[in-house]
């Protein structure tokens, strides 16, 4: 048992070290590319690092930018690990934000922050979870692939949010599709004063740790992984496959919905229909984190670091395009996927040392 634990720790440490080296190499290449485009490389690196982590305020901004990515990354990671291809985190994120804004501006049951804030957060999580269940219901009872339904539900959520923000939730005195600003007493409390480090960041990290425990240390986590790897085997073992898929989709959508609620209560304090593509970016975060909640924490932090630093460089006299951060993200993910593929092929060769090519086997 001790040997197995040591082996897992060593594997995790090796993966983290490899990821750090890959990220460092890609950042170096990005700075070199900036030099080829005529930008001073040392100046770019200095502005990027100081803009992302050069002060407590910059570091808190990086964490705040990483928070919605962490929650949508958890939404994608939890679902993909269980074989539920939830591509609808963007729509679930919007529904969570919409319900949180409604519960904190128009539909308050009282005016006490100690009740309004938890109600808005829980309402946002439930809205995201229920939105995800629609796609799972369509797959189970109407044979609509969950990939297709979740993508289409993203557009439904977008237009529903626009309709609500141009109707009952529209701010007074403006023709734009946006909600009124949430009152300051309903904002998420700051964990560190005079920074952007709100308590929602701590909640997101705690949720990631709890999901890791759920996946690695419970029967539910084991059954969910078996359902994802081979639903037929799971049915043969008398596991509740359908029920587990519904539960996973609800948890996944709840994470994304909570991300939307935390974003409006802790960061932007009002809502528009176009709040960023956090749901789609969460898929990249989950892939970089290898679908592991603890890895997703590091992956989201890295993405937040890139985004915050990119804004600092863009706003400087250099005016380096912000898309450079997206290019770095794409390259990092591609490199990690290539390395994962090489590792998988090597492990298969070790498992079948005598086979030089895949052989066909009859189906059972």
Domains and CATH numbers, the chain: 2-344 (1.10.3470)
Q: How far apart, in whole angstroms, are the C-alpha atoms of residue 118 and residue 97?
A: 14
Cα dihedral: 108, 112, 116, 118 (round 10): -160
Stretches where the chain sits below pLDDT 70 are 1-39, 41, 316-320, 322, 324, 336, 339-340, 344, 347, 350-364
pLDDT the model gives residue 356: 45
Are 105 and 269 contacting, i.e. CB atoms less than 8 angstroms apart? Answer: no
Count CA within 13 A, CB hemisphere, residue 194: 2
Q: What is the structure's pLDDT at 355?
A: 47
| pLDDT for 128 | 97
Bridge partners for 272 per DSSP: 178
Q: Do 87 and 147 meet the contact criterion of CB atoms below 8 Å apart?
A: yes
Report the C-alpha gap between 91 and 161 in whole angstroms: 10
Q: Which residue has the tokens 């705690």?
A: 206
What pLDDT sits at residue 357?
44
Q: What is the pLDDT of residue 60?
A: 92
- Distance between CA atoms of 216 and 138, rounded to whole angstroms? 29
How high is the pLDDT of residue 302? 87
* Spatial distance between the Cα atoms of 337 and 345, rounded to a whole number of angstroms: 12
Contact 59, 53 (CB under 8 A): yes
| The token pair that represents 24 in the structure block | 């460092």
pLDDT at 110: 79
Backbone angles phi, psi at 198, to 5 degrees: -90, 170
Three-state DSSP class for 198?
strand
Angle of CA points 97, 72, 79, to nearest 5°: 120
Burial status of residue 118 (CB atoms within 10 A of its CB: 0-12, 13-18, 19 or more): exposed
C-beta atoms surrounding 293 within 10 Å: 26
């Amino acid at each position: 048992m001790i040997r197995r634990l040591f082996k897992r720790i060593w594997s995790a440490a090796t993966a983290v070290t490899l990821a750090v080296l890959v990220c460092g190499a890609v950042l170096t290449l990005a700075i070199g590319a900036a030099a080829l485009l005529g930008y001073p490389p040392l100046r770019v690196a200095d502005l990027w690092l100081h803009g992302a982590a050069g002060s407590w305020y910059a570091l808190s901004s990086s964490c705040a930018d990483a928070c919605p990515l962490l929650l949508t990354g958890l939404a994608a990671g939890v679902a993909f690990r269980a074989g539920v291809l939830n591509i609808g985190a963007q729509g679930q994120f919007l529904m969570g934000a919409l319900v949180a804004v409604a519960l904190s501006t128009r539909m308050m049951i009282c005016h006490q922050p100690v009740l309004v804030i938890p109600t808005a957060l829980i309402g946002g999580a439930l809205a995201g979870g229920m939105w995800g269940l629609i796609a799972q219901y369509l797959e189970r009872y109407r044979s609509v692939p969950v990939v297709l339904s979740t993508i289409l539900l993203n557009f439904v959520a977008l237009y529903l949010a626009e309709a609500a923000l141009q109707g009952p939730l529209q701010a007074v005195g403006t023709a734009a599709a946006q909600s009124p600003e949430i009152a300051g007493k309903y904002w998420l409390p700051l964990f560190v004063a005079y920074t952007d480090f709100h308590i929602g960041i701590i909640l997101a990290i705690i949720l990631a740790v709890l999901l890791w425990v759920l996946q690695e240390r419970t029967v539910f986590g084991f059954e969910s992984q078996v359902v994802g790897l081979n639903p037929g085997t799971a049915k043969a073992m008398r596991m509740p496959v359908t029920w587990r898929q519904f539960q996973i989709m609800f948890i996944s959508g709840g994470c994304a919905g909570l991300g939307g609620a935390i974003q409006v209560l802790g960061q932007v304090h009002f809502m528009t229909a176009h709040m960023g593509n956090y749901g789609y970016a969460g898929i990249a975060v989950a892939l970089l984190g290898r679908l592991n909640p603890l890895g997703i924490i590091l992956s989201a932090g890295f993405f937040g670091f890139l985004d915050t630093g990119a804004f600092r460089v863009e706003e400087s006299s250099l005016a380096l395009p912000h898309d450079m951060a997206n290019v770095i993200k794409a390259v990092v993910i591609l490199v990690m996927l290539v390395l994962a593929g090489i590792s998988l092929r090597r492990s298969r060769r070790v498992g079948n040392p005598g086979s030089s090519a895949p052989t066909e086997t009859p189906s059972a």
